[in-house]
């Protein structure tokens, strides 16, 4: 049997067999190798299969057995997403660890202008060439010099010679170093563990793999639909709306009681980055919320977001994130971040917001060492 476009219509049992392999835990890559069918086609079959099953379950009165089957299906689909996302991240990490993969373009968080944008009285940037980044040096107790990583998180070249970088710091008179290694652009945790005195999982960061299935949590779908009834989304230039951003950010700092807020000069530097995407959410023509995204390589980072009272009440940040998920074409991953505060809390509001959009997660690592 042929369709009007001339392509052969595959028998349904072949499609079902492939979908059942996916639902049973096999990855898209594995089933692609087994069947020779493209990943996107397999993903489409799975999506249609799931949608058809959901329609069948919705067609009649609920009973406990059907509800249990639905819950099992949802849990299996979630585990499948997470497994595929983890496998993709592991493959990516192995590729980035090769010296040949080192980029001539520094990560925006590693650049000298970014380091100087974080400079403050008593904190001076210092370049660590072996790591491909900067640290901030401060004078600690009894005059000892302490180095800390970049905020909000510290990328290190995945192929970095971590021990050589620590020796550079030691030669510069640094007594101790501490940082939170960015989970998608740093050496493998085993490399960090071998070099730092302390290296432990610090915070779960949620990400969106745009090449994998994306299923928003039900609560997020509802919030998004409600917000889109009253809000519109526009991509804007941060430098043209910097004063409005400063006002929204100040409200955010006060509401969340952020202990170390970024300075206005920090955001003025961000406005000069060519990879910056600024998403504004409007109600009645006025900006009520904004999100800032910074890109590098295959990853787009949610750097920050803020909204006023009207924007917060109408879930303005939901359509901003959904807009990026739907329109990003040049990068594969959106790193949304995790919870706030010192302790990792998956039930904290910001963590739940980010997790609801994600289809995978990975841990950042807290690394520290005494150098003298």
Shared domain for 116 and 84, answered yes or no, is no
The reply to whether 351 falls in a domain is no
Looking at the structure, tell me whether residues 148 and 70 fall in a common domain.
Answer: no
Residue 200: the pLDDT is 95
Phi and psi angles of residue 253, each rounded to the nearest 5 degrees, phi first: -60, -45
Q: Is 3 contained in some domain?
A: no
36-57: per-residue pLDDT in tens?
Answer: 887 777 777 777 777 666 555 5
Q: How many domains does the chain have?
A: 3
Query: Of 96, 124, 151, which closes a domain?
Result: 96
- Produce one character per residue of 314-353: b if its CB has 16 or more CB atoms within 10 Å, e if not: bbbbbbbbbbbeeebeebbbbbbbbbbeeebbeeeebbbb
- Round to whole Å and give the CA distance between 41 and 44: 5
The answer on pLDDT for 65 being more than 60 is yes
CATH number of the domain to which 240 belongs: 3.40.630.30
Distance CA 349, CA 13 (A): 44
Residue 160 lies in domain = 104-202
Whether residue 22 is found in the same domain as residue 40:
yes
Q: Tell whether 240 and 283 lie within a shared domain.
A: yes
In a domain, 339, yes or no: no
Q: Tell me whether residue 303 is in a domain.
A: yes
Helices H / strands E in the chain, number of each: 13, 11
Q: What is the pLDDT of residue 41?
A: 79
42 near 35, Cβ under 8 Å? yes
179 shares a domain with 284: no
Question: DSSP characters for 290-318?
Answer: EEEEEEETTEEEEEEEEE-HHHHHTTTHH
Tens-digit pLDDT profile for residues 230-269: 999 999 999 999 999 999 999 999 988 888 899 999 999 9
326 domain-assigned: yes
Residue 6 confidence (pLDDT): 41
Taking alpha carbons only, the member of 148, 151, 132, 131 closest to residue 140 is: 148
Q: Are residues 30 and 85 in the same domain?
A: yes
What is the torsion angle, in degrees rounded to the nearest 10, for the CA atoms of residue 100, residue 104, residue 107 and residue 113? Answer: 150
Residue where one domain finishes, among candidates 52, 76, 96 = 96
Per-residue pLDDT, 3: 35
**Which residue, among 263, 201, 271, 190, has the nearest Cα to 236 in the 3D structure?**
271
Let me know whether 327 and 223 are in one domain.
Answer: yes
Per-residue pLDDT tens digits for 185-222: 999 999 999 999 999 999 999 999 998 888 888 899 99
Confidence grade of residue 5 (pLDDT, cut at 50, 70, 90): very low
**217 and 164 in a common domain:** no
My answer on whether 234 and 311 are in the same domain is yes
Domain final residue, candidates 96, 117, 136: 96
What 3-state DSSP class applies to 225?
A: helix
Look at 227-231, 252-256, 267-271, 319-323 and tell me which has the smallest mean pLDDT.
252-256
Any domain includes 355: no
**Three-state secondary structure call for residue 280:** strand
Tell me the pLDDT of the chain averaged across its residues: 86
Could you tell me the pLDDT band of residue 184, with boundaries at 50, 70 and 90? very high
Q: Are residues 110 and 174 in the same domain?
A: yes
The pLDDT tens digits of the residues spanning 109-139 come to 999 989 988 888 889 999 999 999 999 999 9
Q: Considering all CA atoms of the chain, what is the largest pairwise distance in Å, rounded to the nearest integer? A: 82
pLDDT tops 90 at residue 364 = yes
Which pLDDT does position 43 carry in this prediction? 76
- Would you state the pLDDT for residue 1? 32
Residues contacting residue 102 through CB under 8 Å, at least 6 positions apart: 132, 157, 159
Lowest mean pLDDT among 19-28, 185-194, 285-294, 299-308: 19-28
The per-residue pLDDT for 21 is 80
Residue 232 and residue 324 in one domain:
yes
Question: Does residue 32 sit in the same domain as residue 138?
Answer: no
282 and 232 Cβ atoms separated by less than 8 Å: yes
Tokens of 281: 């959410």
Domain assignment present for 358: no
Nearest to 368, CA basis, from 208, 105, 233, 169: 169
Structure-token pair, residue 240: 């043209």
Q: What is the per-residue pLDDT for 28?
A: 74
Q: What strands, in cross-sheet order, belong to the sheet with 145-148?
A: 123-128, 133-139, 145-148, 174-181, 360-370, 198-209, 333-337, 299-307, 286-296, 276-283, 232-236
Residue 350 lies in a domain: no
In terms of Cα–Cα distance, which of 261, 331, 258 is closest to 92?
331
pLDDT value of residue 78: 64
């Amino acid at each position: 049997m042929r369709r009007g476009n001339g392509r052969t219509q595959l028998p349904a049992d072949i499609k079902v067999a492939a979908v059942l392999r996916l639902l049973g835990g096999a990855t898209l890559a594995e089933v692609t190798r087994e069947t020779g069918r493209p990943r996107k086609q397999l993903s489409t079959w799975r999506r249609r299969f799931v949608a058809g099953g959901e329609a069948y379950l919705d067609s009649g009165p609920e009973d406990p057995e059907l509800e249990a089957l639905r819950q099992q299906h949802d849990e299996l689909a979630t585990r499948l997403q997470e497994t595929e996302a983890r496998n993709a991240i592991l493959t990516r990490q192995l590729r980035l660890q090769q010296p040949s993969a080192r980029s001539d373009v520094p990560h925006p968080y590693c650049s000298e202008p970014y380091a100087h944008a974080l400079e403050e009285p008593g904190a001076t940037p210092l370049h660590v060439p072996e790591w491909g980044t900067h640290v901030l040096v401060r004078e600690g107790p009894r005059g000892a010099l302490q180095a800390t990583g970049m905020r909000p998180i510290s990328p290190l070249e995945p192929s970095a010679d971590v021990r050589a970088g620590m020796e550079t710091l030691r030669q510069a008179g640094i007594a101790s170093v501490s940082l939170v290694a960015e989970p998608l652009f740093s050496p493998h945790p085993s490399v960090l563990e071998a070099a730092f005195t302390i290296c432990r999982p610090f915070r779960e960061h949620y990400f969106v793999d745009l090449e994998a299935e994306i299923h928003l949590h039900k609560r997020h779908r509802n919030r998004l639909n409600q917000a889109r009834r009253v809000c519109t989304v526009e991509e804007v230039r941060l430098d043209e709306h910097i004063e409005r951003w400063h006002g929204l950010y100040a409200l955010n700092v006060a509401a969340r009681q952020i202990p170390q807020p970024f300075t206005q000069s920090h955001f003025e530097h961000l406005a000069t980055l060519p990879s910056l995407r600024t998403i504004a959410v409007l109600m009645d023509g006025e900006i009520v919320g904004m999100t800032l995204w910074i890109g590098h390589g295959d990853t787009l980072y949610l750097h920050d977001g803020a909204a006023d009272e009207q924007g917060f009440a109408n879930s303005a940040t939901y359509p901003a994130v959904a807009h990026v998920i739907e329109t990003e074409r040049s990068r594969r991953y959106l790193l949304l971040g995790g919870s706030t505060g010192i302790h990792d809390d998956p039930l904290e509001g910001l963590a739940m917001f980010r997790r609801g959009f994600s289809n995978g997660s990975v841990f950042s690592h807290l690394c520290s060492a005494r150098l003298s």
